[in-house]
Amino acid sequence: MNAAGVRMVVTRARSRGTGASLQWGGEKAAPLRSGEAAAEGRKSHGPVKRQRKTRRLSVAYEASEGEKGEGPERLQAPSWEPQDWRQQLDNIRTMRSGKDAPVDQLGAEHCFDPSASPKVRRYQVLLSLMLSSQTKDQVTAGAMQRLRARGLTVDSILQMDDSTLGALIYPVGFWRSKVKYIKQTSEILQQHYGGDIPASVAELVALPGVGPKMAHLAMAVAWGTVSGIAVDTHVHRIANRLRWTKKATRSPEDTRRALEEWLPRELWREINGLLVGFGQQTCLPVHPRCQACLNRALCPAARGL
């Protein structure tokens, strides 16, 4: 064989190299396996015959028309979800459309000074959440108003004596313990975060007096990040009454984990305020107003009364 012939064979062999990807009808074929690649290399030294019969090449993943553009990993539907939960949720939205529950005017997102710097606002959000534990929204809002009148910053709290701080936050629940926690947390924030609050749930719950519900709400209100479902006593109670958990849960944290297993993530931000207000106005802890509830025919707890 002359030199020109040798160059021609080599060129053809390279064009069919093992690293090449095949295209067929606009689809990319799967790479050849090592054994097939070796066989192809041996065949390339002989005469190459064109295969006229068309055949479909197998591909690793083929998306349906509705899935194109979403990538290989498809969204997995939850293995379990409560019966009628979408209708129940729509009914609660209807009952809450007036936005006239205490949480709607006095929740954590309404207790900070909007004219303060972002860092101070975040600190005030965290303090309002710490005060809100085992306390009605009206009482928390009153305490925050008194604190803000004194200039509510990390430095002002650290310079304030315990008796003055206690007098300002009284009568929030467990106010003596909260005085201690607020002072300890404020000192940590000053020393380790430059007076700001942490931007992660793990760091927030490590602060004295800060629990998971507060941490998730702080992430949502102060940082604008949805890190999880904030579950308080209202959300815990209503989720169990509606059977929104696969089995009965004993604590708000158990309820949070159970809800996050099936509730679509785009609803995580909304669900806390929606259910808290519903629990304040209709689904009360004692003597719930089932006759006025749009879910009375769908709620397992109401049917059991």
What is the model's pLDDT at position 9? Answer: 39
Rounded CA-CA distance 264/185 in Å is: 33
Domain ranges of the chain: 85-98+230-292, 111-223
CA 229 to chain CA centroid, Å, is 6
Query: 186-196, pLDDT tens digit by residue?
Result: 999 999 999 99
213 belongs to the catalytic site: yes
Using CA atoms, how far residue 176 sits from 18, 133, 163, 168, 179, in Å, is 74, 13, 9, 11, 5
Asked if 207 and 182 count as a contact pair (C-beta separation under 8 A), the reply is no
- Which residues lie closer than 8 Å to 210 by C-beta, 6 or more apart? 126, 129, 130, 181, 185, 204, 218
H or E stretch including 28?
A: strand 27-28
Using CA atoms, how far residue 15 sits from 25, 192, 298, in Å, is 19, 61, 67
What is the model's pLDDT at position 69? Answer: 43
User: What does pTM read for this prediction?
Assistant: 0.74
Query: 209-245, pLDDT tens digit by residue?
Result: 999 999 999 999 999 999 999 999 999 999 999 999 9
Asked if 56 and 50 count as a contact pair (C-beta separation under 8 A), the reply is no
Class of domain 111-223: mainly alpha
Q: Which of 119, 213, 246, 247 is catalytic?
A: 213
Task: Give me the mean pLDDT over the 52-57 stretch.
Answer: 44
Angle at 292 between CA 288 and CA 298, to 5 degrees: 80
Alpha helices in 199-303 (DSSP H): 201-205, 212-222, 233-241, 252-260, 268-281, 300-303
Q: Which fold has domain 85-98+230-292?
A: Endonuclease Iii, domain 2 (1.10.1670)
Round the average pLDDT of the chain to a whole number and report it: 83
Query: 143-183, pLDDT tens digit by residue?
Result: 999 999 999 999 999 999 999 999 999 999 999 999 999 99
Q: How is residue 266 annotated by DSSP? A: G
CA-closest candidate to residue 143, choices 159, 160, 128, 163: 128
What's the alpha-carbon Rg for the chain, to the nearest Å? Answer: 31
What is the model's pLDDT at position 71? Answer: 41
